[in-house]
Structure 1
């Protein structure tokens, strides 16, 4: 499909005025294309040759609209840091419409498009820094096999935008199968628009739960909550296994289909620290790394309450009680894969917990340790692993390796097969904050090649890419714990 042939539909906007407002974007006067994501172009069914089309700069900032586009600001609310806020909505983003490809519907969402009825006191803009971070984060999570929204393009400008200091405005076209949040259901519940809420439940079920066709509104609402609970459990298990901290898990930042959504002050762990807080505005540690499963459950409780007009308390409670076992199961599966274990044993949880305690006490680099473990074949000394562990913890490492060796022996583990599996499970390249900062600083200076290089590495994070070894290095001390705010 040529770019000129792309025509958008509007299933969500057509639901009605209860769900938002149609509004035109505020384009940049002098836009320029910074990057276009060839993988997402292919996902949408657009010819790869169209990546060089000069129209992307205008399309990516709203100066030109896709055929049929009717930009729409979505209305929702949500709990922010545990407090309900009724004044939320798409304050700087517009749903441009949807593309249908191979039976799937992809929504295009323009972020940084200017003020909407829900902007409150904001300027409706995004800056290059935060736009690059979201662009890369979607590729990083997707590359690791964790569900996430993605982005099609970044467009820059010379428009000044004030955050902590004066920066340049940028826009991003975000791509997702659905932009519906927990907060959409909270908004309709707290404003007593239950008919509209039933309409939205039915729309989600038609798209993602076709087996619910013909069921009552209550049965559909319960099925949707079970679906969202399962997806959310798998999502947070992936975050915990891969060392990803979201940073601001408000209910308005939670996707009803279980995508990682609305990137702000996120971070991947460098040194393993379960108490890590990546958002410098999170003074109580509500969204610390180790708190994420509990916070996601809290958010699911808020969603369940918003569905209480349709689902009984007993059914809601039963749905939510499934969450912890689902998280534990999904997390155990991921960690066995990271450890190269082909079969499940009763003591695997203890083996994993012992390792994580060792990594925490040693302040070991999380990703680099697991990548080194993929090459371990029982040698002594295990030099590559010892180099990841502090001197004071070397004996503890030997003790753990003895347990690990016995565990591998019990399943007659073959090194070559295990090595292949672990190298395809433990990434060499992750989106460390110091790398993101390096890319941002280059882009702010007009050099976009580092952005493209890192994007490509994150799309194939398990491959060796020997020509890019420096991108796999552990950060310097100055590159750890870079302060991040919600404007990140």
Structure 2
């Protein structure tokens, strides 16, 4: 392996010592066929120069990267799953494989999914279906293009095993995935330590997170450091909630073990993008009561942050924790305004964001049952796109009298970049979407004919959209 100067290994997790994870071995797969390698993400950590053989060696066979973890580590955590506390979970089909600094000097984690059984697998086989990995690529690529702070799918390697699952036709193909994250420490990681009253280990983990994921030098008392940490995480997760809502994305399983302390969207399950604006829309067929429906996501994430506060209760006074957690709604409301304007590609003429526009936007989209992504495509650039929107396929919606208030409110805003409207993406007349029907259609080409061309064409379209929106 030729070492790139941009590859900067830093297995910082080892500095935590005992109590946070267990060394494990990766499964020995019968085949390793590269199905996806994200060289754009790999370039940020100096690994884009790997040959396919080297890529397979590290991300299919999990031979250690130079100067990195010599053995993978399955992390220990608990979590609330649909509000029920579960002490019997942890990295059951994944592990921390490596850590390194990226081009912005952030500590990044390479974590896996489908890499084999661990002490926390329980009755699971530790595997991942190829379709599960394929779906995560689509989710992370589109979220990234929409400007959402998300994990990136780095690698998918098909592994040649036949898996049986209850939620898709079986037997089905298997894969192992590697994701790139700015941290795999979860809210559930702290919950587990609190469950066992490991106060010293909690303080140590707080300092680790402050140092390595927030660039802060821990100072003051244990309570001071813990409150600082909670404040940073609260802000990040409130921003995450706003980004999910603006993107029209439904995560599906916002359990505390699926929320990391850096505020990235990760650990995807039965996700969906909204077909139309519907606050009650759910992604998971087993979410019978709509706990994680689209409209409940901000409250769900706020509740999760309270569980992190509870895990710090042996270090911090109750009122001090409540004071920190109370800022969540303010951060969320400020950010959702900013993110919706970003989606519309507009900025206020003055310094203040006028909620009148957003009120009319919400009213129109909820009453007209309008295609979510089409709306933001048609009106990207605000008033500068009126002619294009009014001659498009949904013009009959926009011509209704109830829509006039929205158009009038748009006049208080300017396009962020009017030149972007001449981008090929906006000239082709069709937004880039990722509805469940499209996911299944793309998958049918793979499962029926092993034809990956439509999938790669979709990835190209997503990235073209991302460039236009940037």
TM-score (norm 2): 0.89
1:395 aligns with 2:401: yes
Residue by residue over 1:350-371, the C-alpha shift from the partner in whole angstroms, topping out at 9 and shown as x without a partner, is 3222222222222211111111
Distance 1:4 1:29, change over 3 A: farther
Deviation sequence 1:298-326 (CA, Å, 0-9, x none):
00111100011111111111111100010
Shift of 1:215: 2.3
Distance 1:306 1:325 in 2: 23
**SS, match of residue 437 in structure 1:** helix
Q: Secondary structure at the match of 1:26?
A: coil
Residues paired across the two proteins, number? 456
* CA-CA distance at 1:218 after TM superposition: 1.3
Change (3 A) 1:2 1:440: farther
Over 3 Å counting, the alpha-carbon distance change for 1:214 and 1:265 in structure 2 is same
- Unpaired stretches in structure 2, ≥5 consecutive residues: none
- Which piece of structure 1 moves more, 222-231 or 416-425? 416-425
Structure 2 matches for 1:382-421, cutoff 5 A? 383-384=390-391, 387=394, 390=397, 394-401=400-407, 403-404=408-409, 407-408=410-411, 410=412, 413=414, 417-418=417-418, 420=420
Q: Aligned in 2, Cα 1:425/1:90: closer, same or farther, shift over 3 Å?
A: farther
How much does 1:209 deviate? 3.6
Distance 1:386 1:352, change over 3 A: farther
User: Quick check: 180-189 or 1-10, which moved more?
Assistant: 1-10
Question: Once superposed, which parts of structure 1, at least 4 consecutive aligned residues long, lie more than 6 Å away?
Answer: 3-7, 421-427
3-state SS in 2 of match to 1:27: coil
Moved more, 138-147 or 37-46: 138-147
User: What is the aligned partner in structure 2 of residue 2 from structure 1?
Assistant: 2
Alpha-carbon distance change, 379 to 25 in structure 1, aligned in 2, over 3 angstroms? closer
Shift of 1:139: 2.1
Counterpart contact for 1:28–1:63, Cα < 8 Å: no
**Where do 5+ consecutive residues of structure 1 fail to align?**
466-488
Instruction: Compute the displacement of 1:428 (Å).
Output: 3.7
Distance 1:169 1:13, change over 3 A: farther
For residues 251 and 18 of structure 1, the distance between their equivalents in structure 2, rounded to whole angstroms, comes to 19
Give deviations 1:45-90, integer Å, cap 9, x for gaps: 12x443x422323422236443343111001001000010001100
The Cα shift of 1:140 comes to 1.8
RMSD over aligned Cα atoms: 2.9
Q: Aligned partners of 1:425, 1:181: CA distance in 2, in Å?
A: 37
Match of 2:363 in 1: 357
Structure 1 segment 300-379 matched on structure 2, within 5 A: 300-339=305-344, 340-343=346-349, 348-374=354-380, 376-377=383-384
Tell me the residue number matched to 1:448: 452
TM-score (norm: length of structure 1): 0.86
Mark the CA change 1:56 to 1:400 in structure 2 (over 3 Å): closer, same or farther. Answer: same
Kindly report which structure 2 residues correspond to 1:60-209, keeping only aligned pairs within 5 A, or say none: 60-62=59-61, 64-67=63-66, 68=68, 69-102=70-103, 103-164=105-166, 165-209=170-214
When residues 62 and 429 of structure 1 are mapped into structure 2, their CA distance, relative to the original with a 3 A threshold, is same
